[in-house]
Structure 1
Amino acid sequence: MPNWLEIALRTLVAIVVLFFMTKLLGKRQVSQLSFFEYITGITIGSLAAYISLDLEANWYLGIISLGVWVAVSIGIEFLQIKSKKARDFIDGKATVLIKDGKVLEDNLKKERLATDELLEQLRSKDVFKLADVEFAVMEPNGDINVLLTKDNLPLTPNHLGIKVGPEPESQTVIMDGKIMDEPLATIGLSRAWLNTELEKTGVAVENVFLGQVDSYGQFYVDLFDDQIKVPEPQIKATLYATLKKCEADLELFGLTTQNKKAKEMYEQCAKQLQSVITEVKPCLHR
């Protein structure tokens, strides 16, 4: 067999074996890999190259070595799941870098982290003043998580005592110019509704790169041609304006009528509608 053909076949075998073995190892981003997993990834890649190119050695020996590495890695992962001591020994423990607003210099030295590097990591978290940090910890994977002081925490509805309902995910109903029937059915809509919305925007489905419907039924599109501007959906704004107009009409009827009972009814209805508008306003202004 010619060398080029043998290398091609070995490479294909290495790719297939590597694919299935990495599927066994699971999904992790590079930043989430432990030290041992990082070493395993490098070694497996080197072994795959060895299987592909080393014509003087038996290729199956490389596959055996790959299998051993993967088996050991999976075994260590199960051990980490079962034992905290094993996790602490293999991955290490989190290290506190800032506590009560004060930098712990000894822990910085322990992690061999320079002051400039600490400030760089804080800036990556949108923190530009050390005084704004209440607590910062370096995780075993090297990432630094930050807790801001109470004065600098972002304001949330919970701080204001407002209860906010869950936000269902938006559904992608058009992708690469093709209608996705399953997401449409998930939100209880049809192709007829989608075609009506496309007519409103004045575009054909084949010109749509991506189309999404949010939890409030508003349709958003991104076109292949970025030079074409699509008008923003106005359903929420129109609904809010209609509700305000109804409120104003009720107040006007209450002021103009001479009938006492009718006046009280209009005023009561106006107050109830005002209460409804106050409740739905956060949703209509998103």
Structure 2
Amino acid sequence: MPEWIEVLLRSFFIIAGLFFITKILGKKQLSKLSFFEYIVGITIGDIAGTLSIDINMAISHGVTSILVWSAVLMLLNVLSLRSQKFRSLVEGDATVFIKDGKVMEDNLKKENYTTDELLEQLRKKNVFSMADVEFAVLESGGDLSVLLKKQNQPVTPQDLNLQLEPVKEPQTVIMDGKILDEPLANAGLNRGWLKSELEKIGVTYENVFLAQVDSDGQLTVDLFDDKIKTPSPITKPLMLASIKKCQADLEMYALATDSASVRQMYARDAEKLNKMLETLKPFLKY
């Protein structure tokens, strides 16, 4: 057998084997590596690369070595799940860098972290002033987690005493010019509604690359032709405008009538709508 064919076959089977091993080890290995997992990954990659091109190396020896390294890693994962002490030994513990707004210099030295590196990591979290940080910890995977001081944290609806409805994931109802009936049904909608919404913006579903419906029933569309601009969803602005018009009409009726009792009724209803508007504005602005 020609050498290049043997190398080709070796490479193919090794790729398939590594893919199978990766699936067994799980998705965690793709996002977060401990020190030992990092070493195992490099070692298995080196063995696999050597095994695929070195035809003098017995493939059974290389496969055995890869399986041993993988088995050891899987064993460590099982032991880590069952023992917190063992998990700390293998994966390491988080290290506090900032506590109560003060930098822990000894912990920086322990992790061989310079002040410049700490500031760089803070900037990656969109924190440009050390004075804004209440607590920061270096996770075992190398990421820096940051908690801002209370006065520097973003305002939330809870801070404003706003009661919001739960937000559901957007449903993709058109993909590559094809209507997807199952997501439409999940959103409680149908093709008739979808085509009606598309007619409002003057497009057909065949020209739509991607369309999604959010939890409020608003349709967002992206066309194949990027030069064509589609209008933003108008369901919420239209509702807000309609309520404002009703409120303005009531005020006008109150001014136009000669009856005191009717004028009071219109003024009272206009005031109720005005209060409702103030409540709904945060929800109806797009």
Instruction: Give CA-to-partner distance per residue, 1:194-251, whole Å, 9 cap, x none.
Output: 2222222223333322211111111111223222211112221111010111122223
User: Equivalent residues in 2 for 1:67-216 (5 A)?
Assistant: 67-216=67-216
Conserved 8 A contact 1:170-1:214: yes
Following the alignment from structure 1 to structure 2, what is the Cα–Cα distance between the partners of residues 33 and 127? 26
Conserved 8 A contact 1:48-1:62: yes
Mark the runs of 5 or more structure 1 residues left unpaired by the alignment: none
Residues 30 and 117 (structure 1), Cα distance of their counterparts in 2 relative to 1, 3 Å cut: farther
Following the alignment from structure 1 to structure 2, what is the Cα–Cα distance between the partners of residues 38 and 198? 51
Tell me which residue corresponds to 1:272: 272
Following the alignment from structure 2 to structure 1, what is the Cα–Cα distance between the partners of residues 8 and 139? 42
User: Equivalent residues in 2 for 1:239-278 (5 A)?
Assistant: 239-259=239-259, 261-278=261-278
Q: TM-score normalised to the size of structure 2?
A: 0.92
- Residue 131 of structure 1 deviates from its aligned partner by 1.2
Instruction: Give CA-to-partner distance per residue, 1:11-56, whole Å, 9 cap, x none.
Output: 2211211111100111137552111121222222223223322212
Identity of aligned residues (%): 55
Moved more, 35-44 or 110-119: 35-44
Secondary structure of the 2:158 match is coil
Give the letter for the 1:37 counterpart. E
Conserved 8 A contact 1:172-1:213: yes
Following the alignment from structure 1 to structure 2, what is the Cα–Cα distance between the partners of residues 140 and 278? 47
Following the alignment from structure 2 to structure 1, what is the Cα–Cα distance between the partners of residues 89 and 105? 23
Following the alignment from structure 2 to structure 1, what is the Cα–Cα distance between the partners of residues 215 and 161? 23
Moved more, 196-205 or 14-23: 196-205
Residues 31 and 25 (structure 1), Cα distance of their counterparts in 2 relative to 1, 3 Å cut: closer
Q: Do structure 1's residue 54 and structure 2's residue 54 form an aligned pair? A: yes
Following the alignment from structure 1 to structure 2, what is the Cα–Cα distance between the partners of residues 59 and 225? 52
Q: TM-score normalised to the size of structure 1?
A: 0.92
- Residue 260 of structure 1 deviates from its aligned partner by 5.1
Give the letter for the 1:241 counterpart. A
Give the letter for the 2:269 counterpart. C
Secondary structure of the 1:221 match is strand
Q: How many residues align?
A: 286
Moved more, 165-174 or 135-144: 165-174
- Residue 258 of structure 1 deviates from its aligned partner by 4.1
Cα RMSD of the aligned pairs, angstroms, is 2.0
Tell me which residue corresponds to 2:282: 282
Tell me which residue corresponds to 2:22: 22
- Residue 275 of structure 1 deviates from its aligned partner by 3.6
Conserved 8 A contact 1:31-1:141: no
Residues 31 and 13 (structure 1), Cα distance of their counterparts in 2 relative to 1, 3 Å cut: closer
Conserved 8 A contact 1:51-1:59: yes
